[in-house]
Amino acid sequence: MDAMQRRYQIYDVFTDSALAGNPLAIVHDCDGLDTAAMQKIAREFNLSETVFVGAPARQPHAAAIRIFTPNFEMPFAGHPTVGTAVSLAELGGIGPDGSILVLEEKIGDVRCAVSRIGGGVFAEFDLPQLSKRMALAAAPETVGAALGLDPHEIGFENHVVSAWHAGVPYVMVPVHGLEAAAKVFLDTRAWREIAPERGRGVAASAYVYCRESLRHDSAFHARMFTGGSQTYEDPATGSALAAFSGAVMAFDSPPDGNHSIWVEQGIEMGRPSRLRLEIEVEGGMPRAARIGGHAVKTAEGLLFA
């Protein structure tokens, strides 16, 4: 490992308040670090994701980034993209009209816009891939049972259990309301038997959602549970919202035009988060989609590794 001092920052993402949202570690000046070293550092931070920032391959892109969980690398993730965009924009100075920057990620180039909104810093990014539906063989009641839900608690309106992929796969599980969402507990062994694989033997994660919400301006209330051998709940999941855009298109059939949808997450964990999904619909089909949210710096320092 290259023994030198590297700047790091901790941001809380998809919130405008510290100690809420989804925490993210960002390590700067990472040229020269190899994959094994990045994985060790991500394990040291032990957050859901750690971003490693390096020089871009092409100018005038802002940076090339790699995203790691404590156990593996991800091609794309939402809260690392939002948090890194805010970090780089703040380091470079946000102009009065905001900043536009491009991050080179494993999934491809991701365009981000950063601006000051509501007294905080807000970033949104264009989805590098539009959501696509995946095959799901498991019956809805089987999916519900793996989440501790009874059959009558699954589904609402015309929303049914489905699987979607916009860079990272998820099983979307609609539930009747907040009471059903609050009781969810994922049975890891049962889930691995029914969920599609996301790679490396890891099952796709579960995204549980309902129309009922705690905030009056939220269109949906959501929870996300990872499908790996060590299951945990995530307080704010941009890649899941990217996949969820496909379910919104399939089940809500929004008319042509631009649609802005706020989703609340992390409530049950005591880390309330707000994520914004924007979908541009043309000819009944999604033409583009974006995900955005605020991010707040909560710590910074030097990494001696």
Q: Quick: pLDDT tens for 237-251.
A: 999 999 999 999 999
- Report whether pLDDT(182) > 80: yes
Number of domains the chain contains: 2
Average pLDDT over residues 202-219: 97
Shared domain for 116 and 14, answered yes or no, is yes
- Determine the Cα–Cα distance for residues 244 and 262; give it in Å rounded to an integer: 12
Neighbouring C-beta atoms of residue 149, cutoff 10 Å = 22
What whole-number percentage of the chain has pLDDT above 90?
Answer: 93
- Report whether pLDDT(234) > 70: yes
- Radius of gyration of the chain, Cα coordinates, nearest whole angstrom: 19
Q: What local confidence, expressed as pLDDT, does residue 113 receive?
A: 98
Shared domain for 77 and 154, answered yes or no, is no
Residue pair 273/262 in contact by the 8 Å Cβ criterion? no
Q: Which residue has the higher pLDDT, 95 or 228?
A: 95
What is the model's pTM? 0.95
Amino acid identity for residue 156 in this structure: F
Beta bridge partners of 136: none
Shared domain for 232 and 118, answered yes or no, is no
Residue 301 CA: distances (Å) to CA of 6, 28, 232:
8, 11, 27
Q: List the domain range (segments joined by +) for residue 61.
A: 5-127+294-304
- Report whether pLDDT(202) > 90: no
- Report whether pLDDT(55) > 80: yes
Shared domain for 138 and 287, answered yes or no, is yes
- Report whether pLDDT(172) > 70: yes
Shared domain for 21 and 56, answered yes or no, is yes
Shared domain for 174 and 41, answered yes or no, is no
- Determine the Cα–Cα distance for residues 237 and 257; give it in Å rounded to an integer: 25
Pick from 255, 139, 267, 142: nearest CA to 213: 267
- Catalytic, 49? Answer yes
CATH no. for residue 271? 3.10.310.10
**Stretch (H or E) spanning 291:** strand 285-304
Q: What local confidence, expressed as pLDDT, does residue 1 receive?
A: 41
Q: Quick: pLDDT tens for 144-165.
A: 999 999 999 999 999 999 999 9
Shared domain for 29 and 147, answered yes or no, is no
Shared domain for 137 and 265, answered yes or no, is yes
The catalytic position among 49, 104, 153, 233 is 49
